[in-house]
Homo-oligomer: A and B are copies of this chain.
Amino acid sequence: MSAADADRRLRAVEAFNTAYARVLDDGDLTVWPNFFTEEARYVVTARENWDRGLPAGLIYCEGRAMMADRAFAILNTAMYAPRYLRHFITNTWVGTQADGGAFEAGANYLLTQVLVDEPNARVHQVGRYIDVFVESEAGLQLCSRHCVYDDALIDNALILPV
């Protein structure tokens, strides 16, 4: 893979993550599953589990339908205090495999949260995305996204996708 192609791929992933974060920061959950392929896996899991190869996660979705279901549940049935989340995504990298199909990528994320009773923004979760992307005609889509967080404890129930 040429340096120019690797650079283009990196820019595309950065643009993807920016769009992804905007949707979540705006709370627009019904759009969120569209970032994934039909059969994609979405997992939020602790670094301790990831490092040991343990599959359990705080959130575990197999397939876009399961994500849509989760989004619907959050928007329509769950009871939780209003909050503002914001994603800061940095240190993005891409795998340089040249076969044109799926490729690995990753980034660090820092998620801040504002609650009514915690009015100053606080660091809510930090970790890294470990991704597999596929390039389709409609642009990039996630085949899998693992959100591997460093925190040993997530304060407040984790309700929303990362």
Which B residues are CB-close (under 8 A) to A93?
15, 18-19, 22
Which B residues are CB-close (under 8 A) to A17?
91
Q: Given A21-B108, A93-B22 in contact, is the A153-B119 Cβ separation under 8 Å?
A: yes
Which segment, of A32-40, A62-70, A80-88, faces chain B? A80-88
Q: Please count how many residues in chain A sit with their CB below 8 Å of the partner chain's CB atoms.
A: 41
- Smallest CB-CB separation from A6: which chain B residue? B15
Q: Determine whether the beta carbon of A84 is less than 8 Å from that of B150.
A: yes
Q: Determine whether the beta carbon of A114 is less than 8 Å from that of B22.
A: no
Q: Determine whether the beta carbon of B151 is less than 8 Å from that of A119.
A: yes
Judge if A41 is at the interface, Cβ distance under 8 Å.
no
Which B residues are CB-close (under 8 A) to A29?
none
Judge if A136 is at the interface, Cβ distance under 8 Å.
no
Pull 21 A–B residue pairs with CB atoms less than 8 Å apart, ordered by A.
A15-B93, A17-B91, A18-B93, A19-B93, A22-B91, A86-B108, A86-B127, A87-B108, A88-B88, A88-B90, A88-B91, A88-B108, A89-B91, A90-B90, A112-B123, A114-B152, A119-B151, A120-B151, A120-B154, A121-B125, A121-B151
New contact pairs (10) apart from A22-B91, A110-B110, CB-CB < 8 Å: A18-B91, A21-B108, A22-B93, A84-B150, A86-B126, A86-B127, A87-B91, A114-B126, A114-B151, A119-B153
Residues of A within 8 A of B (CB): 7, 10-11, 15, 17-19, 21-22, 25, 47, 84, 86-93, 108, 110, 112, 114, 116, 119-123, 125-128, 149-155
